[in-house]
Amino acid sequence: MADGSQASLRSVRTTCPYCGVGCGVTAVPDGLGGATVTGDTEHPANFGRLCSKGSALGETLSPATRLLYPEIAGTRVDWDRATRHVASELQRVRQNYGPKAIAFYLSGQLLTEDYYVANKLAKGFIGTPHVDTNSRLCMASSVAGHKRAFGADVVPGCYDDLDTADLVVLVGSNTAWCHPVLYQRIQKARQTRGTKVVNIDPRRTATSEGADLQLSLAAGSDTCLWNGLLVWLAGQNLIDAGYISAHTEDFEPALALARERAGTISKVAFHTGLPAEDVQAFFELWGANPRVVSCYSQGVNQSIQGTDKVNAIINCHLATGRIAKPGMGPLSLTGQPNAMGGREVGGLANMLAAHMEFSPRERELVERFWKAPHLAEHEGLKAVALFDAIDRGEIKALWVIGSNPAVSMPRANATRAALSKLELLVVSEVVHANDTSAAATVKLPAHGWGEKDGTVTNSERCISRQRPFLTPAGDARPDWWILSRVAGHLGWGDAFNYRSAAGIFVEHAALSGFENTGERVFNIAGLADLSESAYDNLEPVQWPVLEPGRSTQRVFSDGQFATPSRRARFIAVARTLERNATSDAYPLLLNTGRIRDQWHTMTRTGLTARLSAHISEPFAEIHPTDAAAAGIEDGGLVRLETAHGAAVVKAVVTDRGLAGAVFAPIHWSAQNSSAGRIGALVHSAADPVSGQPDLKATPARASAVEAALSGFILSALELPILSHPDVVYWARSKNQTGTLTTFAIDGTFAVARSIIEACLPHGARLTMSDARVAGFRSAVLCDGRLEAIAFLGSPPNLQPGAWLKSMLMRDQLAPFERLALLAGELPNGAEDAGPIVCVCHQVGSRRIGEAIAAGCQSTEAVGLACSAGTNCGSCVPEINRMLSGYAVRAGAAKKQAVKI
């Protein structure tokens, strides 16, 4: 497929491109550029299940937003010209400033083969060590924690352990939304075999709905809790002295420091802010259940003490010998689909390749294997430091592949400004426009999902194939092909003479086994002789793979680790105070994260109306106490500010988070919101060991935003952005066949009306305007079809109902429908469904509420009544929350009735 040839219409088994669960999917192309996507029943990560994002993959394949041709300075060019230009510019920068003036910023979305070639070109041939990736923002602290404890970046366990554990502890992980298929697996074990679930997270999230114990601890106090557990286990004689003595080292210093910092339950309760009885209950659950799996994710990793948090968790597993055995062990849940594959090939600045680093021995080995003329001599700059170096002018050329750092990096405004200082910014991308490519000097169209051919590795070390099933859009090419062409123009064609992804994979596999006598755990030499067809047909396999066909489910089961002594290391972990404490100016802590139905900066999930139906606007969750103090109302607008930037988003006033904390999702960008880019607010403080930025605790303040008028525009075509100074907020999302823009304006009715009218397309108009009630409604019709409709008014949160949304889909409106347009509903119209909860069956909260009020007392009963929650299951936690809320309200009403 490297030449962009026509894909066939047969069904293809491939892998979901979103989260680190790495679900297998089966795609059947329709021959028109789309495909039907279902879960692969044979894939060991999901056995056929998909979450809402995976289920909607077939709706995100439109070529409408694709970058189709190479561009230099905005002008379309052919591939030869584009790759020659990139090569000559890289050569110029290298000659003028040296190789270290060149950097690469990669992505956990890339396939292993693309990652391998980028790393080889940069570190082996150009000679720059500055190759980092957005995976630095995702799991670098887990990598560092694994290396400190085990001597290698290895996840010891596997997903099967979740099926046999008696206790699953979720730490800093909204698993229900961010790893939904694993969450459903945990819930199934909970229902069928009584597995207990503890959720450790400052916020009550959808994950909490399926937990037996919720620990809403204070931000940054995780190490104290786990140190306390270590001390308690030792005090109760629940440690495994035999395992500690035979297979570990440095236990005593770790325990001594833990005793000093978290010696009693009351001390732990004080520092974590948890009720002492909850701390006790957690410790007792851990003590009573040898089969325990601790899953950790971004709430652990994205912290200035992320590595310490990881080691504090691992310490407890080592102390009890509960590691790498069925149903037991620490399990890092990777955010991205190929964060682990990127680590395997050295996609991080502090790694070389095949889990090797920059020691003289490993440098020499890689240099010899690659026949590399300019092997980088030392570690490069990690993400935050890399963009700082760009800002200082030390890096002159940057090649960004598959990432959008102008949105996702901490201090994203500073990142965006730094990009404009580069002499060369090459962006290899799938979409034509994003916040990063706006500054690009060269844009190169890369294969998207469905066109890509290669491998990814999920959170349980399972290597799976991503197989192509679509004809590539325009002139798009595989990332490895683009990199290899540039390498060829630079004179290194022999070393980059790849014909296919298979050729790259076997070279990567061979390097992993090259002079590896067991000191490097990452070894897939058993796959180094794969033929093209064997590679094509490769079944999911967990590394290490030492011999053909031999997968490894668990690593370190024999108690032999990858440290020089072969013993696992306890790490003495102090409870460091959060460096970035709040102040009078910034009294809140801003926590960032993901929502259920969107992925990263929405360049793909944002293309389907189904996934925008659940949450369509940027928002911030704020505690009622903080909201009241700032005059912020639920559903109103809130301005969030930090020392680095500001955002204006919708306020969700809720006590799900702790007072003093505010939560906002990361997905919105300048492409779909006026000021929803949360990365712009986040500070750049990073973990000193892993370099992973702290995206969970930026000092912030919140204030209410005044807006006299609000409204929406539904349009079949994308309309110009509302850029008038009186427009204090807008957000844009996909709506079935068109676009929904919601907005708020703080100005006079006359000015607001003129802003909206100027934005509407040409065509026959039906208009109603009444200045006395500040109401304006206008519909634009073309050949009997509704092209656009705008509502402007004074009530906050003016939103279109389902009927009005559906009118954009109609070829010809009936007369009675035309008459009802400006009312927004039919005179005898059914009540609106309310916000969509179940995106698969498009069931709104109102319908679910009716089912519950009619007597449904379980998710199964609700499913039978209205189908909600019966497909992918991603909405089940939310239905559970509605059920609990109803039960609480019913209980309160009963008490009230008794009193009366």
Site of interaction with ligand SF4 (CB under 6 A): 16, 18-19, 21-23, 46, 50-51, 53-54, 179-181
Round to whole Å and give the CA distance between 24 and 46. Answer: 7
- In the Cβ-directed half-sphere of 24, how many Cα atoms lie within 13 Å? 21
CB of 24 to ligand SF4, least distance (A): 9
In the complex, minimum distance from the CB of residue 380 to ligand SF4, in angstroms, rounded to a whole number: 30
- Min. distance of Cβ 701 from ligand SF4 in angstroms? 34
Nearer to ligand SF4, 137 or 328 (CB): 137
3-state secondary structure of 332: strand
541-542 β-sheet, strand order: 454-457, 462-466, 541-542
Nearer to ligand SF4, 41 or 359 (CB): 41
Least Å distance, CB 860 to ligand SF4, is 22
Amino acid at 124: G
Token pair belonging to 161: 């352990």
> Which residue pairs from 833-836 have beta carbons closer than 8 angstroms and sit at least 24 positions apart in sequence?
833/802, 835/613, 835/614, 836/613, 836/614
Q: Please, which residues bridge with residue 703 across strands?
A: 639
Q: Which is nearer to ligand SF4, 15 or 289 (CB)?
A: 15
Contact 223, 308 (CB under 8 A): yes
Least distance in Å: CB of 52 to ligand SF4? 7
**Collapsed DSSP state (helix, strand, coil) of residue 128:** coil
DSSP line for 635-668: TSEEEEE-SS-EEEEEEEE-SSSPTTEEEEES--
CB of 839 to ligand SF4, least distance (A): 12
Task: Between 52 and 741, name the residue whose CB sits nearer to ligand SF4.
Answer: 52
Q: Measured from the CB atom, is 454 or 693 closer to ligand SF4?
A: 454
DSSP state for residue 576 in the 8-state scheme:
P
CB of 88 to ligand SF4, least distance (A): 40
In the complex with ligand SF4, which residue's Cβ is closer, 21 or 138? 21
- Closer residue to ligand SF4 in complex, CB, 18/69: 18
Minimum CB–partner distance for residue 23 and ligand SF4 (Å)? 3
Q: What is the DSSP letter of 821?
A: G
Residue carrying the six token digits 């934005």: 759
Instruction: Give the helix/strand (H/E) hosting 163.
Output: helix 160-164
Nearer to ligand SF4, 19 or 521 (CB): 19
CB nearer to ligand SF4: pick between 37 and 686? 37
- Residues contacting residue 11 through CB under 8 Å, at least 6 positions apart: 26, 27, 28
Q: How far apart are CA 223 and CA 574, in angstroms?
A: 7
Alpha carbon of residue 873 to chain centroid: 19
Alpha-carbon 72 to chain mean position: 30
Least distance (Å) between residue 183 CB and ligand SF4: 8
In angstroms, give the least distance from the CB of 872 to ligand SF4.
Answer: 8
Helix (H, G, I), strand (E, B) or coil at 560: coil
Element (H, E) at 593: strand 588-593
**Please, which residue, 258 or 333, has the CB nearer to ligand SF4?**
333
Q: Which is nearer to ligand SF4, 57 or 106 (CB)?
A: 57
Report the residue count for the chain. Answer: 900
Query: Do 247 and 563 contact (CB within 8 A), yes or no?
Result: no
Identity of residue 279? V
**What's the min distance (Å) between Cβ of 298 and ligand SF4?**
14
Among 595, 651, 585, 593, which Cα is nearest to 623's? 651
Closest distance of CB 46 from ligand SF4, Å: 6
Nearer to ligand SF4, 342 or 346 (CB): 342
Between residues 15 and 428, which has the closer beta carbon with respect to ligand SF4? 15
293-310 in b/e form (b: 16+ CB < 10 A) is bbbbbbbbbbbbbbbbbb
Q: Which residues pair with 727 in a beta bridge?
A: 745
**Phi, psi torsion values for 672, nearest 5 degrees:** -135, 15
Q: What's the distance, CA 779 to chain centroid?
A: 38
Closest residue to ligand SF4 using C-beta atoms = 54
- CB 15 to ligand SF4: min, Å: 8
Q: Where are the alpha helices (DSSP H) in 779-839?
A: 802-807, 815-820
Which residue number, 22 or 341, has a Cβ lying nearer to ligand SF4? 22
Q: Is 738 helix (H, G, I), strand (E, B) or coil?
A: strand
Nearer to ligand SF4, 50 or 422 (CB): 50
Cβ 97 to ligand SF4 shortest distance, Å: 41
Contact 351, 343 (CB under 8 A): yes
**What's the token pair of residue 580?**
């970035």
Nearest residue to 459 (alpha-carbon basis) of 335, 348, 306: 335
- Minimum Å gap between C-beta 712 and ligand SF4 is 29
